[in-house]
Structure 1
Amino acid sequence: MLPTLNGRIQTRLLALGTIGFIVALVITPVLPTGSQPLGQTYRVTLSVLLATVLIGVLWELLYHFLQQFRWEKDWPTLFGFVTIVNEGALMWFLVHSTTLVLPRDLHPSPVAFLIQFIVTWMVFWLIVNGPMRLVFHRWRLQGGRFL
């Protein structure tokens, strides 16, 4: 069974929320942030993660709309991987061009943002497309829903 819209949203919220949180806890101390205190660095990385999770729900609505034009009503796995480009670009814009995610004095450096976003996305994508299917073997049969 193909993941439903509800299932994709639940998967994104649960998996990116938990996996992203763990990744942020691990990589934040080693990010190149200059003289920024560790507490402030955690605030930045967790704020970017939260914004990514929330904006991701809007992405899922757009992806669902676009999938209606495809015969299978689903994306190939590679399309799911390549979405890192458009989602990363939007998050970069929201983080650096607006104060919606962070105040102006807390913007991460481009390198720190790229490291956090790419590492989080890669770990998330690999786990959702690999081990999660083994651990939650009924997840796929329930349209990607957890609840």
Structure 2
Amino acid sequence: MLPTLNGRIQTRIFLLVVVGGIWTLILTPVLPGLPGPLSADYRVTFTILVATIVLGIGWELIYHFIQQFRWEKDWPTFFGLITVVNEGLLVWILLQLDLVPGIDGPAVPIGAYVILFVTTWLWVWLIANGPMRVPFIHWRFRGGRLV
């Protein structure tokens, strides 16, 4: 399968909303260092998830541009995994600069952020490269498009 730009964006949004949302729901109560009541912690973690989704659309445009210089116009699977570094750093920097609306970014502990971001990324990457192909049989043949 060669995912299209539209397919990659749809898959990213779907997986982050469904898999990332469920994982964030489970993980938030046990994250270390989040101050405040559980409702405030959920607001922070889900806002980070939404920021990741929004910025991810921009990243997909950048990745698409870079892929045009590759012979097969696609990434090796490993590249999809290591993009956690640049995407995670961007969200963290925006948090520290207090540029993510709805969050007092500097108050988010780095430990909680790293655990949330990296584990969510791993779940999404694992699901996209394995089980995603079972319930969405035609997903592979439609360039990653779900709709």
TM-score of the pair, normalised by structure 1: 0.95
* 2:104 equivalent in structure 1: 104
Cα deviation code 1:93-138 (max 9, x no counterpart): 1111123334437731000000100110000000010100122121
CA distance in 1, matches of 2:57, 2:39: 28
CA distance in 1, matches of 2:63, 2:11: 14
Change over 3 Å in CA distance of 1:135–1:90 after alignment to 2:
same
Q: Say whether the 8 Å CA contact 1:8–1:145 is kept in structure 2.
A: yes
Change over 3 Å in CA distance of 1:35–1:90 after alignment to 2:
closer
Gaps of 5+ in 1: none
Q: Say whether the 8 Å CA contact 2:5–2:60 is kept in structure 1.
A: yes
CA distance in 2, matches of 1:115, 1:124: 14
* 2:141 equivalent in structure 1: 141
Structure 1 residue runs of 4 or more that deviate by more than 4 Å after TM superposition: none
CA distance in 2, matches of 1:103, 1:46: 10
* 1:127 equivalent in structure 2: 127
Q: Say whether the 8 Å CA contact 2:31–2:115 is kept in structure 1.
A: yes
What's the C-alpha RMSD, in Å, of the aligned pairs?
1.4
User: 33-42 or 77-86, which moves further after superposition?
Assistant: 33-42
% identical equivalent positions: 52
TM-score of the pair, normalised by structure 2: 0.95
CA distance in 1, matches of 2:91, 2:105: 17
Q: Say whether the 8 Å CA contact 1:19–1:123 is kept in structure 2.
A: yes
SS at match of 1:139: helix
* Corresponding pairs, count: 147
Gaps of 5+ in 2: none
SS at match of 1:59: helix
Q: Say whether the 8 Å CA contact 2:98–2:106 is kept in structure 1.
A: no
Q: Say whether the 8 Å CA contact 1:33–1:41 is kept in structure 2.
A: no
* 1:66 equivalent in structure 2: 66
Change over 3 Å in CA distance of 1:103–1:26 after alignment to 2:
closer
CA distance in 1, matches of 2:109, 2:35: 12
* 2:77 equivalent in structure 1: 77
1:23 aligns with 2:23: yes
